[in-house]
Structure 1
């Protein structure tokens, strides 16, 4: 990775805005280093994504976390020789380095650019063209990347379909490691802000407990539901303290479609209220492969799993106005929800005591 002067980029075009950054598309005039290329050892003109970190002109270790996480991951997997021909590190987006915006002075992370955008929009735009065979291929790629992260003791902590990009050949690539952390890093009370999109955040995290690898598995279960239905989880609800309370009480999206044998059961395992009951990423990968191989048998027997046509299936044109699918700080909402839960519990206890006595 390297620092690249901003003037080395041209045709910088704003694409979208996330919870903590703005994303631009740009042409990197020289392109990244390639020691197999002739001098000056660059691959030449390349389209990249520039992620401008909000209020980062005085950059700190916190802003650099995304690069540090990727560097540690890539170093680990370089030693295992798993760098792939797709120019990513085994289903993890590749980071080239950092630059600094000439006007705002904010720092910008340089990554590979994918024309197809993210999985969320891909599902919305192509839902009825994605057979169950293709869905299961995508799931294998997604869980493969997650398994590699967990193998490297990295927890993503903001795992959702908007943070999965779609590469050439519709291959999903995990991105946005901005708040990822080591699973063996001690819990830091000074940096305990919880970020995310409420439907993808595990209930134990919504109850104030720390992120674990099992929290990522819960998020994967929501991605499974999204692929199955073509809709975003809890698209019809406001993402507020009431939803947090309901999720902690066991609310999950409705099961309203057919799927290959074992798919729904596995999805429910990922959703389990007890994180210890969820499969590991390694177990998840094996189970997804088994479902995939069974679907191949269905295809051979000319009985592939079909996508249902139903009013309850397929993308919707309008989500609930209060449904927010950008990562944002959630700690204050969680505190409010926990306070409400505690108050309800106290009221129930008082009612029981007054009814039955001491």
Structure 2
């Protein structure tokens, strides 16, 4: 059997996606057919790889048909309902999940209702919000600390759902794989309003996983995706690694946000960031792709920075106190993210220091009140944070019990998703030591 080259398939899918002028071809049904024809004509792929690429294209098409409730319906041979998906039946998947509602519980009816609502509206079998028993996480090891949480790695036994088996009429799991866990802080003060926002956030995020904040400005502006666009995305990751927070968490991802990115807005850099790291990061997110380093230069300079601080540990910056101070002043994003179609955008440019300061002068404040008296949710919400690629809810105090695991699926076929995996009040006494188990 020929080995399928996943990297080439991903590159071909990206070429197919970026080859279409979406200002002209606005019908997603026609776009699907255009992408299919581009894939079939791609000489870099073997026939087997083309088949796999088309399968992935079909999977995305199934998602969009269900999301927008548009397309030719077929009669499912199992449930006899008129479904839109072709690789699976959305009703069969949803009914399968509903039939299993009685087989799990978080110990809190409101959390159960939230997860069940999400499962009842599932769009595709490989993106399902689910309850994960704590015992299904093995080899938990401490990795690092971010602004709001401690980060651990673990193996998720069984793994997430991957596909629907039409013959056996059941969901198939990916298998045991590596995940990242977050030990979160200060959800004890969560109010009912906070929970309602979390519900809205989770419902929206599972449907719209786009990540505008990491897209290069030229890609947002409709230009072709290139290796230099990847370098811009790496700069966003560099900022997140150094800061412990996702970039632009206090901004609505709306038209004004997009315009600001194109006009040169970048994440704010604190003075404690080492100058060489800062300069490299700024070069990587330059508005002009030709000014960004190539991957070899980037790797070489990163190695130089790493070696320098390994040999001069006394010069390592003390970032955590500064980050904690800033985190205490950062609030939840407001829940107004929408799907936008942007046209006639200006050319990307770099902003001056004064313009950068002006970009960051307006922040939103929706923090959880410290004097919240709602005790109903506090027991289970001691450590609940629901994150997505579009919205973030920040909560922080000094408790150390892990109450949620965020799954990051390492699977070359799929996008990366942050799935809320909650466990019960009875497990609240479990402590995770800094050196793991």
TM-score over 0.5 for the pair: no
The TM-score normalised by the length of structure 2 is: 0.36
The TM-score normalised by the length of structure 1 is: 0.43
Greater RCO, 1 or 2 (C-alpha within 8 Å, sep 6+): 2
